[in-house]
Amino acid sequence: MNRVDFANVNRVVIKIGSSLLTQGGQGLHQEAIRAWVSQMAGLKQRSVDVVLVSSGSVAEGVSRLKLKARPKTLHELQAAAAVGQMGLVRVFDDNFQHHGLHAAQVLLTHDDLSDRQRYLNARSTLLTLLKFGVVPVINENDTVATEEIRFGDNDTLAALVANLVEAELLIILTDQMGLYTGDPSIYPDAELIPQISVNDNRLEKMAGESRSGLGRGGMYTKVRAARLAARSGAATVIVSGRLESVIEKVIAGMEVGTHFLPDIEPLAARKRWLAGQLQVKGKLVLDAGAVKVLRSDGKSLLAVGVKSVSGRFERGELVSCFDESGIEIARGLINYGNSDAELIAGKSSSEFEKILGYADDSEMIHRDNIVLI
């Protein structure tokens, strides 16, 4: 199979593992970070949106605190993360500033992406940062997360972020060359797999667990991340971060790492997710003008075109849109709860602040969150 040339991608999520960032736990790898940031800056010069998911806060904290091993207790892990995060943020910010770019720290927990309202808030923040040309640097909020809300590894976090911002490509930089047919430390004849479908049933048998002791991930979590990213149509490349110009080589479609092919196109994946996997919580009846805008023009739904609102829902939950004859025409994630939606239905966005006491999204449902039925 031919490798995909990613030269025309518009949005990339890049995840860097702990052992790479911290030289195997010996402190932040300054030279490597400079090289990775330089390559990301090159992508930005080509108008490619870049989101960085960074591991390493706990590992850097362990190094700064001169601990002999990664802590076991939750409060010690959180303390190490708080110390280490300071170093990570400073180094990334300094390096991006060198290229005339701004970076932004974003800390997330699982609740931020499982709660629909917080999901939309996180999505809006990240997309706004990208619109401003900023590189979001995302990490799990290890300083407050408990075991019940931890992502468990930043590979999973990176995949969920790829879903969140609808990235076309997820690049996972690790200390391995990619996925092999078996563990190369056990099976000397194991071969690197250049390309494979995310649905290949051999994947679980070929993926192993992490042995570095620094991160929580392993090849298994990376394979799982590739499958999660594929839900929104993103391809994933797992590749060694130690390769020279590795990000540039991946974007150019060169024979490096393992390329995981998604099983569905991005638009179809989002349609399937919105239309089939979320529970409908409310109903909007639209006038003829709004129906035409949705069906023919592919634009956002404005409140002025909404004739009535029914149901109980919060911001970020799924609602159905009907024409006046009772035919369902679309579903989407609404930007307002039912009480506020009822107040602004039929009104112009210029009236929102006067009616609600605040001005938030100008659309009732953004076009990116609407699927025609």
Q: What are the start-end ranges of the E strands in 241-279? A: 258-261
What does the block give as tokens for 9?
């991608």
Beta bridge partners of 14: 52, 171
Per-residue pLDDT of 319-367, as tens digits, reads 999 999 999 999 998 999 999 999 999 999 999 999 999 878 899 999 8
Query: Using CA atoms, how far apart are residues 347 and 352, in angstroms rounded to an integer?
Result: 8
**Contact yes or no for 300/237 (Cβ under 8 A):** no
Task: Report the CATH number of the 11-264 domain.
Answer: 3.40.1160.10
Q: Which candidate, 373, 358, 355, places its Cα nearest to that of 318? A: 373
* Interval 20-48 mean pLDDT: 89
Q: Note the pTM of the prediction, 2 decimals.
A: 0.74
What per-residue confidence (pLDDT) applies to 275?
Answer: 59
Amino acid at 50: V
Amino acid at 17: G
Q: Which candidate, 208, 218, 207, places its Cα nearest to that of 153? A: 218
Residue 237 neighbours by CB under 8 Å, 6+ apart: 169, 170, 171, 172, 250, 256, 257, 258, 259, 260
* Interval 308-316 mean pLDDT: 93
Per-residue pLDDT of 61-94, as tens digits, reads 888 888 888 888 888 888 888 898 888 889 999 9
Query: Using CA atoms, how far apart are residues 112 and 361, in angstroms rounded to an integer?
Result: 19
pLDDT at 267 over 60: no
Per-chain mean pLDDT for the chain: 85
Q: What are the start-end ranges of the E strands in 58-179? A: 103-108, 135-140, 169-174
For the chain, the domains span 11-264, 278-372
**Contact yes or no for 104/135 (Cβ under 8 A):** yes
**Contact yes or no for 21/59 (Cβ under 8 A):** yes
What per-residue confidence (pLDDT) applies to 247?
Answer: 96
Strand, coil or helix: what is 124?
helix
**Fold of the 278-372 domain:** 2.30.130
Per-residue pLDDT of 189-229, as tens digits, reads 888 889 888 888 777 667 654 444 434 446 788 888 898 88
* Interval 243-251 mean pLDDT: 94
pLDDT at 180 over 60: yes
Annotate 294-335 with DSSP letters as a single string.
IIII--PBPGGGEEEEEE---TT-EEEEE-TTS-EEEEEE-S
What per-residue confidence (pLDDT) applies to 40?
Answer: 97
